Structure 1
Amino acid sequence: MKIILTHEVSGLGTPGDIVEVKNGYGRNYLLPQGFAIQWSKGAEKQVTVIKRAREAREIRDLGQATEVKGQLEGLKVTLTARSGNGGRLFGSITPTEIADAVKAAGGPSLDRRRLELPGHIKTTGSYTVQVKLHPEVTAKFPVNVVAAK
């Protein structure tokens, strides 16, 4: 099955890429989740629009990526969340909340889709979050989750 990716899919490609996948994977996962659209000649013309939008928000080069990595690694990110007994949160911490907390802590704005959480964050404590800034640059930074008073 030939599809056009609309979002970054780990191990498959970036938005605007035209890839060949197995029928079940495309039909049952990528298309319903909105990660891809069915390939056609008309849809292929949309690829240029998708790529142009990606280039506008993407980190330009390796130098800029390493600069952003330096900013992130020196950052102390703290999130407050409501929790019950034993530090268990009501819900979990999302990538959007982490991206907003990085921005509030004085860091660069991050795309939530590029954040890689260490599983589901459902308790208070310290966690290490990865962000893929560039195909060759991955930054890690600590996130401290504390209980709201």
Structure 2
Amino acid sequence: MKLILTQPVSGLGNAGDVVDVKDGYARNFLLPRKVATAWTKGGQKQVDAITQGRTKRALKTAEDASAAKASLQGTTVTVPARAGAGGRLFGAVTPSEIADAIVASGGPQVDKRRIEVSAPIRTVGAHTVHVRLHEDVSADVTVNVVAA
């Protein structure tokens, strides 16, 4: 099924891209979350408008992302979480909690969807997460999870 992405989807593409995906993935995941619309000939105008807007913002955001990377790279943020005996957490640390901790520590505003955690953080200690600030700019942040 041909779709037009209206928001960036990790591993698939950015807003304005025309992608061909399996019917079930489109029907059960992309369309209900409103991150894509069905492709039509008239929808091509929407694709053109999205790509024009993206190119205008790309130069500005690349400079902002480089500045944010300078302040984030090598930063350690502390996230308090409820933990049991042995340092295991009750649940996991979410990207939303990490984004809030970055802002609380004086860092820039980061979208929670741009934070990539390789494996769920379920233990107390230091963990490294990857923050995609722009298509070409990313930073590694150390998250120190402490028992609350």
TM-score (norm 2): 0.81
Kindly report the root-mean-square deviation, in angstroms, between the aligned alpha carbons of the 2 structures: 2.7
| Structure 1: unaligned runs, 5 residues or longer | none
Structure 2 residue matching 1:8: 3-state secondary structure? coil
8 Å contact kept, 1:72–1:139: yes
Specify the alignment match of 2:3 in structure 1. 3
| Structure 2: unaligned runs, 5 residues or longer | none
Alpha-carbon distance between aligned partners in 2 of 1:105 and 1:59, rounded to the nearest angstrom: 27
**What count of residue pairs does the alignment treat as equivalent?**
147
Structure 2 residue matching 1:136: 3-state secondary structure? coil
Q: Which amino acid aligns with 2:126?
A: S
Alpha-carbon distance between aligned partners in 2 of 1:99 and 1:33, rounded to the nearest angstrom: 22
8 Å contact kept, 2:74–2:142: no
Specify the alignment match of 1:73 in structure 2. 73
Q: CA deviation at 1:51?
A: 7.4
- The residue correspondences of 1:58-69 to structure 2 (distance < 5 A) are 60-69=60-69
Q: CA deviation at 1:28?
A: 3.4
Deviates more, 1:60-69 or 1:88-97: 60-69
Deviates more, 1:115-124 or 1:2-11: 2-11
Alpha-carbon distance between aligned partners in 2 of 1:109 and 1:122, rounded to the nearest angstrom: 24
Q: CA deviation at 1:19?
A: 2.1
Deviates more, 1:10-19 or 1:32-41: 32-41
Alpha-carbon distance between aligned partners in 1 of 2:133 and 2:35, rounded to the nearest angstrom: 20
Specify the alignment match of 1:87 in structure 2. 87
Q: CA deviation at 1:122?
A: 1.2
Alpha-carbon distance between aligned partners in 2 of 1:83 and 1:51, rounded to the nearest angstrom: 48
Asked whether 1:124 is paired with 2:124, we answer yes
Q: Which amino acid aligns with 2:3?
A: I
Alpha-carbon distance between aligned partners in 1 of 2:77 and 2:102, rounded to the nearest angstrom: 6
Q: Which amino acid aligns with 1:75?
A: T
Structure 2 residue matching 1:32: 3-state secondary structure? coil
Asked whether 1:35 is paired with 2:35, we answer yes
Cα displacement string for residues 69-123 of structure 1 (whole angstroms, at most 9, x for unaligned residues): 1100142200001111111111111111101100000000001111101211111
TM-score (norm 1): 0.81
Alpha-carbon distance between aligned partners in 1 of 2:147 and 2:43, rounded to the nearest angstrom: 47
Specify the alignment match of 2:12 in structure 1. 12
Q: 1:75 to 1:26 in 2, by over 3 A?
A: same
Alpha-carbon distance between aligned partners in 1 of 2:62 and 2:6, rounded to the nearest angstrom: 24
Deviates more, 1:20-29 or 1:130-139: 20-29
Q: CA deviation at 1:136?
A: 1.6
Deviates more, 1:84-93 or 1:60-69: 60-69
Specify the alignment match of 1:108 in structure 2. 108
